[in-house]
Amino acid sequence: MKNLKNLLKTPLQIIPKWVPIALLVLALVGFADATYLTIEHYQNEIPPCAISGCETVLTSAYSSIAGIPVSLLGSLTYLILIVLLLLYLDTKKEIFLRIALPVSFVAALASVAFLLIMAFVLKAFCQYCAVSDAISITIFFVLLWLALRSRNSSLPVRG
C-alpha cells in the first residue's frame, strides 16, 4: 500500500515536453475525424469515400450503440483526453496522465474491436474509422509507455 502511495505521489521523471504535445495534436486530429463522422451521421449522409466500403461500415449495426453513434462516443472520448492533456500541460500534475490512461485504454480496446469487425465481420473498410482507431491505439501505447517509464524511474526512490 505504501508502495502504491509512493507510486502515485512520485512525480513523473522528466517527460520531454513534445510527448504530451504530440499526444494533444493526435487527440485533436482524432477529435476532428470523429466529429466529422458524427455530423455526417446526423445529416444522414455518407462521406465521400476514396475506397468503397464506407457505406457498409457507417450504416452497419456496429455503427451505433443503443442509438448513440459510435463516432459521437469517439468525439467525446477525444475531448476528455484533450482536456486531461491540457490540464497536465497546465499544471504538470501527473495525475491527469494517470486518469487519461484508463480512458485511453477503453478507447483503444474499442478501436481494436472495431478494426477486427471491419476486417472479419463486415469485410469492408472505412478510412475515417480506421484513422480514428489507429490514433486511439497510438495514444494508449504512448500513455502506457509514460506510465511504465515513471514507475521504473521511481524504483530507486522507493528503495
Taking CB under 8 A as the criterion, the residue among 10, 13, 35, 60 binding another protein is 35
Q: At what angle do helices 127-158 and 70-91 cross, to 10 degrees?
A: 40
Select from 4-12, 25-33, 92-100, 141-149 the region that touches another protein (CB under 8 A). 25-33
H-state helical runs in 13-126: 18-42, 54-58, 70-91, 95-116
Q: Does 105 bind another protein (CB under 8 A)?
A: no
Contacts of 73 (CB under 8 A, 6+ apart): 65, 110
Under rule CB under 8 A, how many of the chain's residues touch another protein? 19
Select from 1-9, 60-68, 79-87, 134-142 the region that touches another protein (CB under 8 A). 79-87
Identify residue 48 by its one-letter amino acid code.
P
Q: Which of residues 41-70 bind another protein (CB under 8 A)?
A: 43, 45-48, 52, 55
Contacts of 44 (CB under 8 A, 6+ apart): none
Interface residues toward another protein, by CB under 8 A: 28, 31-32, 35-36, 39-40, 43, 45-48, 52, 55, 79, 82-83, 86, 90
